[in-house]
């Protein structure tokens, strides 16, 4: 299989709160190919959302990006001096977790989408209003003319999410970040939104980063999966490998905890065990001496990278 060209390349991204340098994200590196749908999974607090906020340049004031580079189509987004992320809407757009909160309650649907078009596609007011209707029907909303005159509270959650996707698409992004876009929606709507995301990818050729803690939806939608744990990227490979033969102990436990409805095995030896080493070491069933050092994120083969001493020892 030919490797698609890289659209997003993240290298050594670290994010810290306050004086800490990398307690939120530690040296995260991965790439996203053109038209790929990459799932970003991890438990609560693993840094999934912080990673997406960092990419969008939306980190809260107290949380800083301390190191690393983010490149989209070879263009660096991180300013070297200030470490601020400067993105344009046509590089990365975002679909938010709660569609109701992501729409301005006092603005009509049509004008919100039209505004996005006006800013990003250089259209006049008239043109953007016409084009907004097209976008609304593209994301599968029936009777776009009626809907464009409505306010967000008059729409259902699923419809709102479609509008949010339309707004993001109006930016013509290279990368679409979807931060748990279906958490607030019921299962049938979830499936529809997944279909929509896939259709959007096929139509516009953008790559999608799908953030979720729900492995079932990740397995349904994504082609590649990246596993985060406490700010470290543990493993990244194709969906099939993650679910069938992952090599990182955490990924294995994570998958098995879902497939057999078991709890993730807790072997807690205190959170400061190996405070400078692998962040999963304190729960890891296969922990060894060298885990006191942070494992490098190494390639096993073309589609499989992992940061684990145990897994790397086995493979080499």
Q: Is 115 in the site for another protein (CB under 8 A)?
A: yes
β-pairing, 224-229 vs 232-238, is: antiparallel
Q: Is 307 in the site for another protein (CB under 8 A)?
A: no
DSSP 192: H
Burial class (CB in 10 A: 0-12, 13-18, 19+), 71: middle
Which lies closer to another protein via its Cβ, residue 14 or residue 128? 128
- What is the distance between the alpha carbons of residues 31 and 29, in angstroms, rounded to a whole number? 7
CB atoms closer than 10 angstroms to residue 137: 15
Burial class (CB in 10 A: 0-12, 13-18, 19+), 66: middle
What is the smallest separation between the CB atom of 214 and another protein, expressed in angstroms?
A: 20
Which lies closer to another protein via its Cβ, residue 94 or residue 197? 94
CB atoms closer than 10 angstroms to residue 26: 22
Which lies closer to another protein via its Cβ, residue 146 or residue 290? 146
> Is-contact 218 38, C-beta < 8 A?
no
Q: Is 93 in the site for another protein (CB under 8 A)?
A: yes
Which lies closer to another protein via its Cβ, residue 170 or residue 247? 170
What is the smallest separation between the CB atom of 183 and another protein, expressed in angstroms?
A: 13
Site string for another protein, 137-176 (x = CB under 8 A): ---------------------------x--xx-xx-----
| Residues forming the site for another protein (CB under 8 A) | 56, 58, 88-89, 93-94, 96-98, 101-107, 112, 115-116, 119-120, 164, 167-168, 170-171
């Amino acid at each position: 299989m030919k490797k698609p060209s890289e659209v997003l390349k993240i290298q050594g991204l670290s994010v810290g709160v306050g004086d800490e340098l990398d307690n939120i994200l530690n040296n995260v590196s991965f790439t996203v190919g053109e038209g790929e749908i990459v799932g970003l999974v991890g438990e609560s607090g693993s840094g999934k959302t912080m990673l997406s906020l960092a990419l969008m340049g939306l980190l809260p004031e107290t949380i800083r990006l301390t190191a690393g580079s983010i490149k989209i189509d070879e263009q660096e987004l991180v300013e070297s001096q200030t470490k601020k992320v400067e993105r344009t809407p046509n590089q990365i757009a975002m679909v938010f977790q709660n569609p109701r909160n992501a729409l301005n309650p006092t603005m009509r649907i049509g004008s919100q989408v039209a505004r996005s078009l006006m800013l990003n596609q250089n259209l006049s007011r008239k043109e953007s209003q016409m084009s907004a209707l097209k976008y609304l029907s593209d994301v599968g909303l029936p009777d776009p003319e009626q809907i464009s005159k409505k306010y967000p509270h008059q729409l259902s959650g699923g419809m709102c999410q479609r509008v949010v996707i339309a707004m993001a698409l109006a930016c013509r992004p290279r990368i679409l970040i979807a931060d748990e876009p279906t958490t607030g929606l019921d299962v049938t709507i979830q499936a529809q939104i997944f279909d929509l995301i896939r259709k959007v990818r096929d139509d516009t050729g953008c790559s999608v980063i799908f953030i979720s803690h729900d492995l079932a939806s990740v397995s349904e939608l994504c082609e590649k999966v990246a596993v985060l744990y406490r700010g470290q990227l543990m493993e990244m490979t194709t969906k099939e490998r993650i679910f069938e033969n992952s090599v990182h102990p955490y990924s294995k436990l994570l998958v098995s905890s879902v497939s057999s409805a078991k709890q993730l095995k807790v072997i807690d030896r205190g959170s400061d065990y190996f405070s400078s080493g692998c962040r999963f070491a304190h729960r890891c069933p296969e922990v060894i001496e060298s885990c006191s050092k942070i494992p490098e994120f190494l390639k096993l083969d073309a589609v499989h990278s992992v940061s684990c001493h145990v897994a790397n020892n086995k493979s080499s």
